[in-house]
Amino acid sequence: MNAPDRTAQTRQQLYRDMSPHDLTPLWEVLHALVPQKPATPCAPALWKYDEVRPFLMRAGEAITAEEAVRRVLILENPKLRGQSAVTQSLYAGLQLILPGEIAPSHRHTQSALRFIVEGSGAWTAVDGERTTMRPGDFIITPSWTWHDHGSEADGPVVWLDGLDIPMVRFFDAGFAENNADRSQQVNRPEGTSFARFGHNMAPVRHESPYGATSPIFSYPYERSREALDQLERSAPVDAWDGVKLRYVNPLTGGWPMPTIATFMQRLPAGFAGKAWRQTDGAVYSVVEGSGEIVVGQGESEVRYAFGPRDHFVVPSWHTARLSSGSGCVLFSFSDRPVHQALGIHREERLS
Ligand code: GTQ
């Protein structure tokens, strides 16, 4: 046997002998463990609302909100099927509630956001306060707060759920409880949290009611849209993002949720954006208008034409660029707060 063969054989024998002891050599996997750049298994994906909606309505006939607890179609990343994940760290789903239904009260350590996609007049209750849902509203369910949803609307109401489920699963830190009451007792009038915290003021000597989570649990679309319009009129349009704002926790100036960053942006008519990439994979919900996103490079490049209520995902470190002929408004969320807390967030703006 020649020398290289002997070396290979020695190594293979070593690996076989140590394997029963739950030992394995780093040098065989080092390149994959410490990659030169992110190599996510997650793929870009687009869910056209026209295609999703009929399934949602069929789900509405197949099961009640009560029986399902949450009647949601999960947006599963095509490369992460079976994991209930839209990216490695985030969960997304579209939840349907029909007139007269109740999605019963429970609480869990996972944080949730709701972004209202279709219909008005359903409500969600968080910690004793209800808020009415309207399209474009961004609503937060802080970790470990009781929440239930219900509807007195005259038609279906659909919203995007964004949760940190895969992250909490990764840390094995998930707890959940059902409430004895189907829907929780309401003990504050609607609008209380916004009145206290939504006017650039906060009660003197207050404590943050939800720890690292914003005390405002509904950010109404009216306000977000107005902020975007004002910014568009008064400042130069960013060549990568168009006109983009991040939602803030008014008590800290930081992200409204500890694990999820949320944004709303407007691409003016005729916008042809430059390309960027960032380590935080992001999920987009199209609020108004239409446009196009190009994700990836070379052979793996995909182009999605999107319109109102469509959803798409841009995975970590994928080059992306946005454009819009007639203008549009996009909501998006990502796991950026966690990247920043760990000091590993990277973003590159390509020219
Ligand atoms: O509304 O509480 O999409 O607990 C997934 C898990 C929604 C919710 C989801 C949940 C919820």
Yes or no: say if 138 and 114 are a contact pair by the CB < 8 Å rule: yes
Instruction: Round to whole Å and give the CA distance between 35 and 315.
Output: 16
The pLDDT of residue 334 is 98
Q: What is the DSSP letter of 315?
A: -
The pLDDT of residue 1 is 80
Q: pTM score > 0.85 for this model? A: yes
Q: Hey, which of 126, 148, 158, 161 would you mutate to test ligand 1's pocket, going by the most ligand atoms within 8 Å of its Cβ?
A: 161
CB distance 161 to ligand 1 below 6 Å: yes
Give the alpha-carbon dihedral of 129, 75, 165, 240, to 10 degrees.
-90
CB distance 163 to ligand 1 below 6 Å: yes
CB distance 160 to ligand 1 below 6 Å: no
| Minimum CA distance residue for ligand 1 atom 9 | 161
Which range of residues forms the domain containing residue 122? 37-349
CB distance 112 to ligand 1 below 6 Å: yes
| Minimum CA distance residue for ligand 1 atom 10 | 70
Yes or no: say if 300 and 43 are a contact pair by the CB < 8 Å rule: no
Tokens linked to 64: 């009640």
> For 143, what's the count of Cα atoms within 13 Å in the CB-facing half-sphere?
16
Secondary structure (3-state) at 283: strand
CB distance 145 to ligand 1 below 6 Å: no
Instruction: Round to whole Å and give the CA distance between 160 and 172.
Output: 25
**H-only helix segments in the chain:** 3-18, 30-33, 49-62, 65-68, 165-170, 192-197, 221-234, 336-342
Ligand 1 atom nearest to CA at 147 = 2
Parallel/antiparallel/unpaired status of strands 122-126 and 129-132: antiparallel
Instruction: Round to whole Å and give the CA distance between 220 and 222.
Output: 5
The pLDDT of residue 207 is 87
Yes or no: say if 284 and 117 are a contact pair by the CB < 8 Å rule: no
Instruction: Round to whole Å and give the CA distance between 28 and 238.
Output: 45
Tokens linked to 327: 């203008």
Ligand 1 atom nearest to CA at 103 = 1
> Distance, CA 208 to ligand 1 centroid (Å)?
24
Say if 86 falls within a structural domain.
yes
CB distance 72 to ligand 1 below 6 Å: yes
Say if 260 falls within a structural domain.
yes
CB distance 70 to ligand 1 below 6 Å: yes
Say if 207 falls within a structural domain.
yes
Say if 286 falls within a structural domain.
yes
- The counts of H helices and E strands in the chain are 8, 23
Look up residue 34 and give its amino acid. Answer: V
Instruction: Please give the full DSSP string across 211-266, using - where no structure is assigned.
Output: TTS-S--EE-HHHHHHHHHHHHHHSPPBTTTBEEEE---TTTSS-SSSS-EEEEEE
CB distance 95 to ligand 1 below 6 Å: yes
Say if 5 falls within a structural domain.
no
User: How buried is residue 245: exposed, middle or buried, by Cβ count under 10 Å (0-12/13-18/19+)?
Assistant: middle
Tokens linked to 304: 């999605």
Question: The domain that contains 80 carries what CATH number?
Answer: 2.60.120.10
Say if 213 falls within a structural domain.
yes
> Distance, CA 108 to ligand 1 centroid (Å)?
9
Q: Hey, which of 84, 163, 164 would you mutate to test ligand 1's pocket, going by the most ligand atoms within 8 Å of its Cβ?
A: 163
CB distance 86 to ligand 1 below 6 Å: no
Say if 204 falls within a structural domain.
yes
The pLDDT of residue 183 is 92
What stretches in the chain show pLDDT beneath 50? none
> Distance, CA 261 to ligand 1 centroid (Å)?
18
- The domain total for the chain is 1
Say if 9 falls within a structural domain.
no
The pLDDT of residue 184 is 94
